[in-house]
Structure 1
Amino acid sequence: MDSGKEEDGKISATPGSEVKDRSMSKLMGKGSFNNRDMFFRADQIDLKSLDIQLEKKLSKIWLRDVIGSMRPKEEWEIDLSKLEIRYVVARGTYGTVYRGTYDGQDIAVKLLDWGEDGHATDAETAALRSSFQQEVAVWHKLDHPNVTKFVGASMGTADLKIPSNVQHSFPTRACCVVVEYLPGGTLKQYLIKNSRRKLPYKIVIQLALDLARGLSYLHSKKIVHRDVKTENMLLTANRTVKIADFGVARVEAQNPQDMTGETGTLGYMGPEVLEGKPYNRKCDVYSFGICLWEIYACDMPYFNLSFTEVSYGVVRQNLRPEIPRCCPNSLANIMKKCWDPNPDKRPNMEEVVRLLEAIDTSRGGGMIPEDQVRGCFCLVPTRGP
């Protein structure tokens, strides 16, 4: 028998370049193994070459990890090892909000899912992440008692530890935003709870002033929120209003033509936004006017109208929420000024703050007169154009 062949014909081991090349090709990943490729002679393997290849591969991995760890962190980046998630608070279109702690502080965590696992194009994802980084860079510098305190953010969540009781699949590269936790819930929830009895006038003005001061501060920093609504305002345990959810906020463009598009929530959007015209911070003033009505009335604007009816009515018919007959003129006038169809005629939020501060609440008034136990129900049942 030829000493260079196996008896069962499994594979030829006769020295030769063909066998050596084929064996090395399999080892270096240039082909796929099968049953006939499982045997080869060790003295025909170029171990030195393999060592060099392995060293190059490991060096690349090590260099990549070192460069990644040496990348200077942004001021707002958090250490995910200090973040502990406890349970889900709410789920939305663009992410999930959790309750948790960060370095011992009570916080809320929002994981933003922008379709990085195949639901958005690479260009769309890159644009969203870039925009997010720009806004976070601004948000982390904000410091005002009526703006939710920003703790930090992370552009990745690969190292995020989520308890098994809230575990669910989400993109490993999703963005993570951490803010202070506010136990009072949203302003909208608070108003719904008081929809039957309504609110004392002093509380109405206090809530309105909190929101107005927060917006005035944002505008002084050239930040347009673009989605002002009671659902995006949070309450502390002492009922202080804090502006939250900066998901679509942006730095105001110097050229109004650079800010267009229907951004916001139907019912709170000014006519210029609904029409896709250029807009500025005055779109927030319009939204505040709707919020002011909502705070006073403890009711929902246009609850019985369709999307088309609201859009057409606001733009073409000057549709606005109906102001209750018992509403003091001083407050009603602020509402009307804020939701003027002409943005240039709307006051700045700084002026709105002064107007609200000038209102006298010492003699009561509003939805709950001092001599009544229950609130005033002077809203007309049928609302619409």
Structure 2
Amino acid sequence: MKEQKSESGGGYVRADQIDLKSLDEQLQRHLSRAWTMEKNKNRKEEGEDGGGGGEQLRSSSNTVRRQEWEIDPSKLIIKSVIARGTFGTVHRGIYDGQDVAVKLLDWGEEGHRSVAEISSLRAAFTQEVAVWHKLDHPNVTKFIGATMGSSDLNIQTENGQIGMPSNMCCVVVEYCPGGALKSYLIKNRRRKLAFKVVVQLALDLARGLSYLHSKKIVHRDVKTENMLLDKTRTVKIADFGVARLEASNPNDMTGETGTLGYMAPEVLNGNPYNRKCDVYSFGICLWEIYCCDMPYPDLSFSEVTSAVVRQNLRPEIPRCCPSSLANVMKRCWDANPDKRPEMDEVVSMIEAIDTSKGGGMIPYDQAQGCLCFRRYRGP
């Protein structure tokens, strides 16, 4: 994949200079070449490349880039499963002495999926790696490395060695012992969170999203389930499985991508969208952090879609919520994407909130003076 340099000479590729339709194919070819070169290197140690081919391989920038993010499987120990998904599992693990989370993606045994299906899954994997490995921010989960399955690879477990099927790959990231933000909110559903904690969690998430947007990255699945907490309760954005570089033309970004309840009206409606869809999702997350509750728990997919798009349905903001925070929610989930603030402005608004006088959500058993909800909401 030829490197495309921005006019400003910045350290990352500008989205408006990339043909997004061919990005996945380019990344897939890049990764395939990296594996091919490594195998050729092992087979031709004595300079049997011929015709200067070895020179070309050794000087290739692809080899250097591959080494930037590819893990050494011999240093990886995979432990217990901590989460399961459609295509794989997330495990606890140790990599080079460091606690890590290992995302194993199993695309099925050869012959059970079509070439097109496997190619699509591999393209999604390489896109996630390409997005993640260049990121460096305290509110974004640290990417450690990745590798794609090969018959030459073995993964260490506590029970010995296992081979990686050719249709399996893994992503290794820092382990966040605090678990998902959503789980933390569920644990505090009855007693709620202190206002200082609410604002700090919101600020962490806002800063992480502002950083991603500064890198022309739209996360597209912002939700509390995709936010992790480290040992100091710092929020870190995770799961870039559907993230992509933002297109200069919004018409290049369409389709229902995200999670029900957090998806912006334009996304639900299948209309073109941009980074402002993340701003909308942040507004829903902010409400969830404050209330420690779920948005629209009793509505079906079709009901939420219809009400959000056609009736401007939004979560009900409790009366006890300070206007400074309620204003951020309302601005972020405005039906018009152009009226939503940029994430760096959201950061500034949250930084300006005064937490010295409290203002957190009042627990249900103390809510005589605050009609926070018209009716009891389920867990």
TM class by smaller structure: 0.7 to 0.9
Q: Distance in 1 between matches of 2:271 and 2:106?
A: 29
Q: 1:261 to 1:373 in 2, by over 3 A?
A: closer
Give the C-alpha shift of residue 197 in structure 1: 0.5
Q: Which residue of 2 aligns with 1:204?
A: 198
Could you tell me which of 348, 365, 385 is aligned with 2:359?
365
Q: Which residue of 1 aligns with 2:340?
A: 346
Q: Distance in 1 between matches of 2:160 and 2:375?
A: 43
Q: Which residue of 2 aligns with 1:356?
A: 350
CA RMSD of aligned residues (A): 2.7
Q: Which residue of 1 aligns with 2:17?
A: none
- 1:316-331 aligned within 5 A: 316-331=310-325
Q: Mind listing any 5+ residue stretches in structure 2 that lack a counterpart?
A: 1-35, 44-56, 58-62
Q: Please give the TM-score of this superposition, normalised by the length of structure 2.
A: 0.78
Q: Which residue of 2 aligns with 1:160?
A: 154
Give the C-alpha shift of residue 367 in structure 1: 1.4
Q: Distance in 1 between matches of 2:308 and 2:39?
A: 57
Retained in 2: the 8 A contact 1:201–1:368?
no
Q: Which residue of 2 aligns with 1:221?
A: 215
Could you tell me which of 266, 275, 286 is aligned with 2:280?
286
Retained in 2: the 8 A contact 1:83–1:160?
no
Structure 2 SS opposite 1:205: helix
String of CA shifts for 1:241-262, please: whole Å, max 9, x gaps.
Answer: 0000111111111221111111
Q: 1:77 to 1:326 in 2, by over 3 A?
A: same
Give the C-alpha shift of residue 382 in structure 1: 6.4
Retained in 1: the 8 A contact 2:218–2:278?
yes
String of CA shifts for 1:55-112, please: whole Å, max 9, x gaps.
Answer: xxxxxxxx99851647733421111111111111111112100001111111000011
- The answer to which of 82-91 and 157-166 deviates more is 157-166
Matched, 1:239 2:233: yes
Stretches of 4+ aligned residues off by more than 6 angstroms: 164-170, 372-377
Retained in 1: the 8 A contact 2:104–2:169?
yes
Q: Which residue of 1 aligns with 2:118?
A: 125
Structure 2 SS opposite 1:110: strand
Retained in 2: the 8 A contact 1:368–1:375?
no
Q: Please give the TM-score of this superposition, normalised by the length of structure 1.
A: 0.77
Q: 1:142 to 1:77 in 2, by over 3 A?
A: same
Could you tell me which of 102, 105, 125 is aligned with 1:112?
105
Q: Distance in 2 between matches of 1:148 and 1:291?
A: 18
Q: Distance in 1 between matches of 2:200 and 2:110?
A: 45
Q: Which residue of 2 aligns with 1:295?
A: 289
Q: 1:277 to 1:66 in 2, by over 3 A?
A: closer
Q: Distance in 2 between matches of 1:313 and 1:170?
A: 46
Q: Which residue of 2 aligns with 1:67?
A: 40
- The number of aligned residues is 320
Retained in 2: the 8 A contact 1:113–1:170?
no
Q: Which residue of 1 aligns with 2:176?
A: 182
Give the C-alpha shift of residue 166 in structure 1: 11
Matched, 1:266 2:260: yes
Q: 1:144 to 1:203 in 2, by over 3 A?
A: same
Task: Mark the structure with the bigger radius of gyration.
Answer: 1
Retained in 2: the 8 A contact 1:95–1:111?
yes
Retained in 2: the 8 A contact 1:223–1:250?
yes
Q: Which residue of 1 aligns with 2:60?
A: none
Report percent identity of matched pairs: 72
- 1:14-29 aligned within 5 A: none
